[in-house]
């Protein structure tokens, strides 16, 4: 299922001019939790306020979590109340949440895995440095340079 993009205006419906501009939202999967204290449910809606118009806007889960917006679960979104004199603008919500999109997560995992792979030069130098001699060193023979280094961990005495 392809995410649906909805362009929403947070102004009153009867206002012909929009002073605030349109805000774009994408319906996203269940990644964020409800903002209400003690609620562990997945968020399905985003609540924003337009203080100048005394309007609360409840719409689909926003793509990005922004300050002064609250993610709500289905239960808290359904029980939303506002102060007297305020209006609630409830935008159309999808009937079922879209399935989680694993393509982005898999692409990120592949990119991290690819970046972590050592190059052939790094791998060859690592193998040469870690190759142990087959015979014990002869007295007076120099030790490898990495053997003279101090470790990065130290013991601190009380």
pTM of the complete model beyond 0.85 = no
Instruction: Give the list of residues 6+ apart from residue 37 with CB closer than 8 angstroms, or none.
Output: none
Is residue 89 within 8 A of residue 54, CB to CB? The reply is: no
Within 10 A of 52 (CB to CB), how many other CB atoms are there?
9
Give the residue among 25, 12, 92, 16 at the shortest CA–CA distance from 55: 12
Q: Does residue 89 register a pLDDT over 50? A: yes
For residues 91 and 4, what is the distance between their CA atoms, to the nearest angstrom?
14
Backbone angles phi, psi at 4, to 5 degrees: -95, 135
Give the residue among 101, 105, 79 at the shortest CA–CA distance from 90: 79
Dump pLDDT digits (tens) for 111-146: 888 877 777 776 666 666 666 656 666 666 665 555
Backbone angles phi, psi at 50, to 5 degrees: -115, 95
Question: What are the structural domain ranges in the chain?
Answer: 5-90
Q: Does residue 154 register a pLDDT over 80? A: no
């Amino acid at each position: 299922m392809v995410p649906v993009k909805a362009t929403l205006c947070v102004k009153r419906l009867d206002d012909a001019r929009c002073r605030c501009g349109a805000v774009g939202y994408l319906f996203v999967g269940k990644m964020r939790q409800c903002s209400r204290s003690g609620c562990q449910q997945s968020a399905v809606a985003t609540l924003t306020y337009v203080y100048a118009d005394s309007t609360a806007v409840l719409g689909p889960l926003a793509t990005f979590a922004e300050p002064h917006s609250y993610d709500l679960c289905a239960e808290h979104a359904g029980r939303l109340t506002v102060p007297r004199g305020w209006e609630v603008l409830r935008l159309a919500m999808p009937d079922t949440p879209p399935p989680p999109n694993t393509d982005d997560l898999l692409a990120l995992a592949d990119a991290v895995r690819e970046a972590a792979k050592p190059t052939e030069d790094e791998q060859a130098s690592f193998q040469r440095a870690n190759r142990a001699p087959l015979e014990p060193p002869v007295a007076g023979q120099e030790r490898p340079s990495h053997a003279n280094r101090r470790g990065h961990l130290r013991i601190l005495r009380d």
